[in-house]
Amino acid sequence: MFEPVLDFVSCPNPQGTHRMAYGSWGDPAASHVVFCVHGLTRQGRDFDVLAQALVASAQEAGLPAVRVICPDVVGRGKSDWLKDPMGYQFPQYAGDMAVLVHKLNAEQAISRLDWVGTSMGGVIGMLLAAQDLPVPVRHLVLNDIGPVVSWSSILNMKTYVGEVGKFQTVQEAANAMWEISKSFGPHTSAEWLALSQNMVRRLEDGTYCLHYDPELRQPIRAVTQEQAQAGEAMLWQVYDLIPCKTLLIHGAESELLSLSAVNEMKLRGPRVQVASLQGVGHAPTLTHEDQIDIVRQFLGLHA
């Protein structure tokens, strides 16, 4: 498997600056750019399979070249960790992504910007799609996320976020991650190991831990049910402002996004079209051909 080109962008925060890492797939001169942004404790390499498929699909269909950008949101993967962990919230994440969009557009003018966001990455996408950028988001893919996040899901996050563990091998770490990720849907052992190998970092003693700042737990553990409800109301306001074509990929067994929320999303804002995946919860990994094809078709990357 090919590797993405790794680069960094400097982003401001209240304590100074931090570097956000991002992987780039495809022709760096391509003016069609697709952002793929990961979930809460994941990282940009989750999209290796999808990114390569989108780049290849455009080429095979004789379409303009596509460049796929897969950031590591601050605190994850190869990005820096924040000095103040309470900064691990959506205003910082959306601000960082806006900085990256401006940087890429300055280097090579973007004629078309699309966004694929899994869970947290989808919320960031909603925030970006509803604001002025040098080039607007044209297609938005929300991977099992919307303005509504169930309180039970937040309570579940409080139990595991920040528990980075200590493992003797990558396989042992993969096994542990699978125990809290079975809702992602069926995967072979090889598929899951491929998704897991970039989720860990090696420590000085030769053991491994998960590749994110354990202090991500602080803002999550501080959230109250009242704050969650206020955040939901704010996100509905953002959602209603989204002008672009929007696709919701919904894990039919999702604990996070209810069917009633999905139905309301169909009636408001961009009036999403919905692709429901049976036997999958939160969140589809977009690594299987049927899931990749849903994204490919929505973005028009087919013959």
| Residue 192 within a domain | no
Tell me if 71 sits within 8 A of 106, measured CB to CB: no
Q: Is the peptide bond before 30 cis (omega within 30 degrees of 0)?
A: no
Q: If you write DSSP's letter for every residue of 251-291 in order, what string do you get?
A: ETT-SSS-HHHHHHHHHSTT--EEEEETT--S---S-SHHH
- CATH number of the domain bearing residue 26: 3.40.50.1820
Alpha-carbon distance of 267 to 240, in angstroms, equals 10
Q: What is the pLDDT of residues 61-72, one digit of tens each?
A: 999 999 999 999
Say whether pLDDT at 32 is over 80: yes
Q: What is the mean pLDDT of residues 282-295?
A: 97
Residue 152 tokens read as 């039970």
Give pLDDT, residue 71: 98
Look at residue 222 and tell me if it is in a domain: no
Tokens of 31: 């003016």
Classify residue 99: in a domain, yes or no: yes
Which residue in 203, 269, 206, 223 sits closest to 242, CA to CA? 269
Domain count within the chain: 1
pLDDT surpasses 90 at 170: yes
In a domain, 213, yes or no: no
- Residue 16 in this model has a pLDDT that exceeds 80: yes
Mean pLDDT across the stretch 282-300?
A: 97
3-class secondary-structure state, position 156: helix
Within a domain: 188: no
User: What's phi and psi for 251, nearest 5 deg?
Assistant: -70, 115
What confidence category does residue 302 fall into, taking pLDDT thresholds of 50, 70 and 90?
confident
* pLDDT tens, residue by residue, 96-155: 999 999 999 999 999 999 999 999 999 999 999 999 899 999 999 999 999 998 899 999
**Does a structural domain hold residue 97?**
yes
In a domain, 183, yes or no: no
223-282, pLDDT tens digit by residue?
999 999 999 999 999 999 999 999 999 999 999 999 999 999 999 999 999 999 999 999
Position 2 scores a pLDDT of 77
Token pair for 197: 């190998």
Question: Is 64 among the domain residues?
Answer: yes
Q: Give the 3-state DSSP-derived string for 175-214, with helices as H, strands as E and coil as C.
A: HHHHHCCHHHCCCCHHHHHHHHHHHEEECCCCCEEECECH
- Separation CA 291–CA 257 (nearest Å): 18
pTM exceeds cut of 0.85: yes
Percentage of residues of the chain with pLDDT beyond 90: 97
Q: 72 is in which domain, residue-wise?
A: 5-155+232-299
Contact predicate 214/164, CB 8 Å: yes
Q: Which residue has the tokens 């989750």?
A: 46
Calpha distance 212→81 (Å, rounded): 8
Calculate the CA 125 to chain-centre distance.
9
Q: Is the pLDDT of residue 79 over 90?
A: yes
